[in-house]
Chain A
Amino acid sequence: MNDTLIKELNDRSIGWVKGYRESGFERFSRLNIPSWKRLNLNGLDLPEYKGYDRLQVTGDGIDVENIMDCGMEEDIREIMQDGQAFGVDEKFVSMVDSFFNTGVVIRVPKGYNSSVPVMVHYPSDGDLILDQNVIIAEPFTSVSIIIDHEAISEAGAFHNGITRVIAKEGSKVNLMKVQRLSDTSFNFDSVIGITGRDAAINWSVVELGSAKSAVSYTTYMNEQGGENNTKGIFFVDDRRRLDLSFKVNHIAPNTTSDIDIRGALKDEAYSIFRGDLDIKRGAKKAKGNEKESVILLDRTVRSDAIPALKCAEDDVEAGHAASCEELDKNTLYYMMSRGLSLDEARMMLVEASFNPIIDAIPDDGLKNAIREVIKRRLTCGEDY
């Protein structure tokens, strides 16, 4: 990925996007790949650039355009050049800004109100996916969107994406992101959401694949009455690593947020959870809560939690909780005495923890597929 390539991509770009890629590249070429103490990216080589053309989209009554050939109106420029801090790391964010090779622009038109999800599917056969996604919900609309990164072969993919969500006054955006890339893949995902007055953004996060995955969600609640609920599940096994980060900025009064993350770790897996509740001065009557619980399935796993709570306003309710425990031996013993195998009993306990989140997936095919992946990962490779 170099300046010759940027020139080539620019020639194919429309309007203001030309300059956009260039300024992204300026940042990109200035920065080094972060090493990251916990996830550890030492020795990471960036892949060769190639195009991506497997994007599939389904959705009724809604504008979904491929970012590579849509009009890119002025309001999208404003959103993409907003300048608010977000993302896993500036190097990766600027990489997408300069080289994005796919992505969608979803406009939720006035009056739209549907619980049938819009499906955005990024299948991967060892692909390079640099997706740039923009979602704009017009006032008083309601939409559900699922963005799914799925491996269709064992080949290692490199996914680095950005998703920007603008929820205008009174609107509601439910965004679910599913990551089930192959075990040799790298995944970097930077998501930012901005809520308008009385608007809600709900994140659902399902993290199952990739050798190394770094995922970051940032929400700014700039206007009164904003809401941001996050539910997530992760299953990490083998020697894979996941760094999952949420940052919620309460800026305006009466904003509320809630984070509920459930995870399970197996073999030599390593997960890092960061939850950052930042209540700024002036966010009166803000409410923020955060909870993470991880089930540890093997002696050799590692689980880190860094749940920060920053508060510059007294009239608030904010709390945090994290817990970590092995599966209860007595419960397992009881279940096995009723005729279940160890695997079945473990599966059942992990499912019990994950179910509230899996059940809420608005697509039955995906729901079953996710259950299958967890089951397969839980029961294979009993090395110990």
Chain B
Amino acid sequence: MAKTVINDIDFSRYNIKAKVKYRHKTAKGLTPEIVEEISYLKGEPDWMREFRLKSLEIYNSKPMPTWGVDLSELNIDEIVAYISPDAEKAKTWDDVPKDIKETFDRLGIPEAEKEYLAGVGAQFDSEVIYHNIKEQLEKQGVIFEDFDTALKKYPDIIREYFMKCVPPTDHKFAALHGAIWSGGSFVYVPKGVKVETPLQAYFRMNAPGTGQFEHTLIIVDEGAEAHYIEGCSAPQYSVSNLHAGCVELYVKKGAKLRYSTIENWSKNTYNLNTKRALVDEGASMIWVSGSFGSKKTMLYPSSVLRGEGATSEYTSVTFAAKGQHLDTGAKMIHLAPNTSSKVVAKSLSKDGGITNFRGLLRVGPKATGVKTTVQCEGLMLDDISRSDTLPIIEIQNDYVDMGYEAKVGKISEDKIYYLMSRGLSEDEAKALIVKGFVEPISGSLPLEYAVELNRLINIEMEGSIG
């Protein structure tokens, strides 16, 4: 059979393994000594050290979750919590060590920055190695810093907001994050400032058997706007890696924030991430999420609509292939009147992959006049995969307009037949249908990322066809 466009793409650019050189690396496992060591190496204030130790206590007191994905093979005692690359944080890519820069070059990050990004942060294992923002935005008062720098430069703001939206008591992996977080970004957009081009963070795990625990805190002040994109990847190793990041977003009165993620962790990674937004009066929070990688994922971005008229949208595509179990979904919590939300979740599963949409839609007693819809669609590419949908809907007053729909099925043979009758090969027809299926997501991303999304779909579709 003739090679089609589907087979042309090379997965290897995600699989680059830079030589593992490090400055500091903690021992495997998790003890108060390791937590103190991380805090000491970072030269943190006392309150943060105490916060970390307290979180560790909470972590130890909480049981492993018994729902969602099977975590029995994840051994935290085998994970290296902190590994800092042998590099100073740089302001220009020229100052980034050659092998690390090469990795990011091949991922296309510096080039993208030149062309269409307002700022970029790049994290390699546990530390941020590059962080830069366009001068013009800096002049407008926009802050975009790596988290360790932000903790030194803006201690009061960080102390006021850090893990207040997602407290360590939330669940076991939030507590783990509180204890050993490292790296990540802090963004502050002042009142009324509209950042039109996206800010981006790229998270790369390079060393085997390690964890990445970056913290992202974004405050979009009243009437301001921002678009934040995060990308993540790692090379494939035989031992497990763990990603337990935490994203806290504060969208103030009348502000708008769009948070896009293209996640492509290697298939030995446990991705147990927590993302939450507090959305104030008249503000808007948009999540766009593409999950392709990891061995197991548990990720449920949530919007707490606490101000009157706040809105939130969540659009996602999840693609699980062989050996993957991706348990994702959105939580929409309506606490104020006239708030609205919309969830569109698409999932694809093939070669025995398991996708699971798990959602929560809660409308509180005071949240009258709420409009909300949830749509889930699962596409199964063969008969050995699984696609499950488990939403929970809780309505606590009568003045609500709620609609929920879910369906699951395979690619319709009529459609394939039609496309083939127009001269496409079967492979091309299937790839085209899949791209059409995820169009709502690729349509919400900036062009370059939509291309990236399509590229990932091509990679995933490769081999499933023909």
B405 touching A325, Cβ below 8 Å = no
- Rounded to whole Å, the gap between the CB of A290 and the closest CB of chain B is 9
B390 neighbours in A (Cβ, 8 Å)? 306, 308-309
In Å, the complex CA distance between A304 and B363 comes to: 10
B399 neighbours in A (Cβ, 8 Å)? 296, 299, 326
A317 at the binding interface (Cβ < 8 Å): yes
Nearest-CB residue, chain B, relative to A278: B388
Nearest-CB residue, chain A, relative to B387: A311
The B-contacting residues of A in range 71-102, CB under 8 angstroms, are none
A297 touching B398, Cβ below 8 Å = yes
Nearest-CB residue, chain A, relative to B397: A299
If A316-B409, A320-B407, A322-B393 touch, whether A311 touches B378 (CB-CB below 8 Å) is: yes
Interface code A317-329, partner B: CB below 8 Å = 1, 0 otherwise?
A: 1111111111000
In Å, the complex CA distance between A310 and B391 comes to: 12
B388 neighbours in A (Cβ, 8 Å)? 308-311
Which of under 10, 10 to 19, 20 to 34, or 35 or more describes the interface residues of B?
35 or more
B392 touching A304, Cβ below 8 Å = yes
In Å, the complex CA distance between A309 and B399 comes to: 27
B465 at the binding interface (Cβ < 8 Å): no
B157 at the binding interface (Cβ < 8 Å): no
A161 neighbours in B (Cβ, 8 Å)? none
The A-contacting residues of B in range 97-123, CB under 8 angstroms, are none
- Partner of A310 from B365, B386, B397, B398 at Cβ < 8 Å: B386
B153 at the binding interface (Cβ < 8 Å): no
Nearest-CB residue, chain A, relative to B368: A299
In Å, the complex CA distance between A281 and B406 comes to: 19
B404 touching A321, Cβ below 8 Å = yes
Interface hub of A281, A299, A308, A311 (most chain B Cβ within 10 A) = A311
B410 touching A307, Cβ below 8 Å = no
If A281-B384, A310-B388, A325-B401 touch, whether A319 touches B395 (CB-CB below 8 Å) is: no
B407 neighbours in A (Cβ, 8 Å)? 317-320
B408 touching A309, Cβ below 8 Å = yes
The B-contacting residues of A in range 284-334, CB under 8 angstroms, are 284, 294, 296-326
The main secondary structure of chain A at its interface with chain B is: strand
B392 touching A326, Cβ below 8 Å = no
Nearest-CB residue, chain B, relative to A294: B395
B397 touching A314, Cβ below 8 Å = no
B26 at the binding interface (Cβ < 8 Å): no
In Å, the complex CA distance between A367 and B386 comes to: 43
The number of chain A residues with a CB under 8 A from chain B is 35
B389 neighbours in A (Cβ, 8 Å)? 307-310, 320
A284 neighbours in B (Cβ, 8 Å)? 383
B387 neighbours in A (Cβ, 8 Å)? 311
B382 at the binding interface (Cβ < 8 Å): yes
B403 at the binding interface (Cβ < 8 Å): yes
B381 touching A305, Cβ below 8 Å = no
B385 at the binding interface (Cβ < 8 Å): yes
- Partner of A315 from B368, B403, B410 at Cβ < 8 Å: B410
A302 touching B400, Cβ below 8 Å = no
- Partner of A306 from B386, B392, B408 at Cβ < 8 Å: B392
Nearest-CB residue, chain B, relative to A276: B390
B380 at the binding interface (Cβ < 8 Å): yes
B396 at the binding interface (Cβ < 8 Å): yes
If A301-B398, A325-B401 touch, whether A318 touches B393 (CB-CB below 8 Å) is: no
If A296-B398, A304-B395, A326-B400 touch, whether A309 touches B406 (CB-CB below 8 Å) is: yes
B395 touching A311, Cβ below 8 Å = no
- Rounded to whole Å, the gap between the CB of B321 and the closest CB of chain A is 14
A314 touching B398, Cβ below 8 Å = no
B396 touching A302, Cβ below 8 Å = yes
B409 touching A302, Cβ below 8 Å = no
B70 at the binding interface (Cβ < 8 Å): no
B393 touching A306, Cβ below 8 Å = yes
A314 touching B382, Cβ below 8 Å = yes
B170 at the binding interface (Cβ < 8 Å): no
A305 neighbours in B (Cβ, 8 Å)? 391-393, 404
A315 touching B393, Cβ below 8 Å = no
- Chain A residues at the B interface, C-beta cutoff of 8 Å: 265, 281, 284, 294, 296-326
The 6 closest A-B pairs by CB, nearest first: A296-B398, A314-B380, A314-B410, A319-B407, A320-B406, A305-B393
Q: A303-B393, A319-B408 are in contact. List 8 more A-B contacts (CB 8 A).
A: A299-B397, A301-B397, A305-B393, A312-B386, A316-B410, A320-B404, A320-B407, A324-B401
CB<8 Å pairs between A and B, sample of 19: A300-B397, A300-B398, A303-B394, A304-B392, A304-B394, A305-B391, A306-B390, A306-B391, A308-B389, A309-B388, A309-B406, A311-B380, A314-B381, A314-B383, A315-B383, A315-B410, A318-B407, A320-B406, A326-B399
